[in-house]
Amino acid sequence: MSASNILIGGESFRRIREDNCYYIDKTMFLEELLSQTPPMVSLITRPRRFGKTLNMTMLQEFFDIRQDSRNLFEGLAISKNEAICDAWMNKYPSAFLSLKLIEGQNFDHALEQAASVISRLCIEHEYLVNSPEVSEADKKDLSALIFKQGSPALLENSLITLSRALHAHWGKPAILLIDEYDVPLARAEQNGYYAEMVCFIRNMLGAALKTNSSLQLAVLTGCLRIAKESIFTGLNNFKCYGISDPKFSDKFGFTSQEVDDLLVDAHFSDKKDVMREWYDGYRFGLGQEIYCPWDILQYVDDLQTDPNAKPQAYWSNTSSNSIIKKFIGRTDFNTNKKFETLLAGESIEVELVESLTYDTVHSSEENLWSMLDLTGYLTKAQEEGFGDKTRLVIPNKEIRKIFIKSVRTWFTDTMKVTPREELLDAFWAGDGERFTRQLAQILLNSISFHDDHHEDFYHAVLVGLFIGCGYDVESNHEVGYGRPDIVIIDRRNARAAVIETKHSSTLKDLDANVSEALRQIVEKKYDAEVREELDNVLLWGMAFFKKRCLARAER
């Protein structure tokens, strides 16, 4: 098994092992799950891309009575526990079902997708249709499910039907493994049919998991712990292990030691600090430091192609990050200051809610902070909160960049629907006093952030002001003897503006910095190129201190 043989996006334990791909051994998850009598139903919640599906396919290969999995687990940690292997390996009929493909645009579409997902599962166990041990009624229902001919009620009872047939055929109760159980609920909330989907999922899981004599145990995974009253009503054999629980805290995601070992194997030990800055920082359980495995494998794979490859925000490409955009856009919660604190690398203190429902996520500030924590955008800080409150931080550089991108997008979208006539009139009139007043009001209502260069936040605000106004907006364009920060060209009115910005260390430095910015434009001839096309050119010097600003124009 070589670190050069990484299967990107690999979620099949069997394929990774059979193809001799690099595998970080998480099989002690089995020992932690089974060393004592496990709950009848275990729900494990983790953010996306933390290895949930891979671990679930590993469980399937270990339990499945149809398989001989000794070769797959040979040399892995669990193979040394003979008692668990003798009692559980390939000893139970099991069914693995992922619900992540049920994401229809409406409820009827979602039901069609559910029928397809259930059909594939039943086809995998098609031998049950011909089993003399299975009742004729269950055979009939399984056949209908295979051909996607079942009613919604039949779909809701599909898992209990399948588990009953498995129990009858093999003489042993079944193990159900349900991955991404909450994806259909998230999509339903987004697309407006949440109540119908809650009812469907509640009925399907309730039938299969509650008082099912054909069930040995069940393991479910997802991002959120949906409130028991919503989905798991009456389920008393149920135990949830979230990101705050010590159990399984190192079984999803990579530990620091596992990342260090991978980098040694891949001959990239010099990238340890970069990996830590970009992809570490998650704290599960009682403070277990965890890396996002998706990012680590993606970056190592890129490094194998180009040893000088820069780290990327790989995780952001797997979701729309809509939760951040919706939160930032709320005007009924006063959260701007908290976001600015987070973006400055500091922690905030908030109350968290353990159990949520997707339809109430946006109903309170506490729910939204909880959602950001549960989905991996924030994580618990090292320092303790006061009383019932928890301290949260942005875990790493990757997530910080996602936040900043979301803030920029929110600002640009907000500006598109914000009246800017007075501000633009002051700008083109060269009225520094009036423009400063308008700009200061916008800054006051914005969420500030600073990248490696302090000017970046102010630069983004200024660009956002002019985007969508019919102007050509050139940012850091090479002209003259250097780079002006921004060039605005209004071709319709044959005019242009060159803007240079400065970050001031104190409030009293604003005036001097504005003068320096204007002098820099002239000395370095930032306006040379644009004057070749236009006569009417304004030179703007602007200086910023926190949310205070000063702007002055010359011609």
Residues 128 and 237 in one domain: yes
**What residues are paired with 550 via a beta bridge?**
543
Number of C-alpha atoms within 13 angstroms, CB side, residue 447? 29
Rg of the chain (C-alpha set): 29
Residue 500 DSSP SS3: strand
d(CA 412, CA 415): 5
Verify that 396 and 515 share a domain, yes or no: no
In a domain, 109, yes or no: yes
Instruction: Say if residue 349 is in the same domain as residue 377.
Output: yes
Do 521 and 424 reside in the same domain of the chain? yes
Identify the CA nearest to 103 among candidates 47, 1, 190, 187: 187
CA-to-CA dists, residue 389 to 105, 167, 381, angstroms: 38, 47, 12
Q: Tell me which of 225, 241, 257 is where a domain ends.
A: 241
Examine residue 214 and state whether it is found in any structural domain, yes or no.
yes
Tokens of 242: 């979230």
Same domain, 441 and 488: yes
Domain boundary among 402, 437, 455: 402
222 in Cβ contact with 355 (< 8 Å): no
Count how many Cα atoms sit within 13 Å of the Cα of residue 315 in the half-sphere of its side chain. 27
Query: Nearest to residue 360, comparing CAs of 487, 480, 195, 523?
Result: 195
541 shares a domain with 425:
yes
- Range of 218's domain? 25-241
* CATH number of the domain to which 453 belongs: 3.40.1350
Strands (E), 252-306: 282-284, 288-290
Whole-angstrom Cα distance, residue 501 to residue 288? Answer: 43
* Total of domains in the chain: 3
Q: What is the pTM of this model?
A: 0.89
20 found inside a domain? no
- Give the CATH number of the domain where residue 237 resides: 3.40.50
Determine the pLDDT at residue 4: 76
Token pair in block for residue 135: 């009742």
Task: With beta carbons less than 8 A apart as the criterion, state whether 154 and 141 touch.
Answer: yes
Cα of 192 vs its chain's centroid, Å = 22
Tokens of 51: 């290895």
Q: Return d(Cα 40, Cα 219) in angstroms, integer.
A: 8
Decide which of 241, 275, 309 is a domain's last residue: 241
Asked whether residue 66 falls in the same domain as residue 145, the answer is yes
Within 13 Å of residue 504, how many CA atoms lie on the same side as its CB? 23
**Total residue length of the chain:** 555
376: number of Cβ within 10 Å: 22
Nearest one of 348, 311, 355 to 327, comparing CA atoms: 348
99 shares its domain with 189: yes
* pLDDT tens for the 555 residues of the chain, in order: 567 789 988 899 999 999 999 999 999 999 999 988 899 999 999 999 999 999 999 999 999 999 999 999 999 999 999 999 999 999 999 999 999 999 999 999 999 999 999 999 999 999 999 999 999 999 999 999 999 998 999 999 999 999 999 999 999 999 999 999 999 999 999 899 999 999 999 999 999 999 899 999 999 999 988 776 678 877 777 899 999 999 999 999 999 999 999 999 999 999 999 999 999 999 999 889 999 999 999 999 999 999 999 999 998 755 556 778 777 777 677 788 899 999 999 999 999 988 888 888 888 889 989 999 999 999 999 888 777 899 999 999 999 999 988 888 888 888 888 889 999 999 999 999 999 999 999 998 888 886 654 567 888 889 889 988 999 998 875 454 567 889 999 999 999 999 999 999 999 999 999 999 999 999 999 999 899 999 999 999 999 998 999 999 998
Say if residue 395 is in the same domain as residue 428: no
Flag whether 252 is in a domain: no
Give the helix ranges, DSSP H, for 467-543. Answer: 510-523, 528-531
Instruction: Say yes or no: 378 and 426 in one domain.
Output: no
In a domain, 260, yes or no: no
The secondary structure of residue 40, as a DSSP letter, is S
Same domain for 328 and 188: no
Both 53 and 196 in one domain: the answer is yes
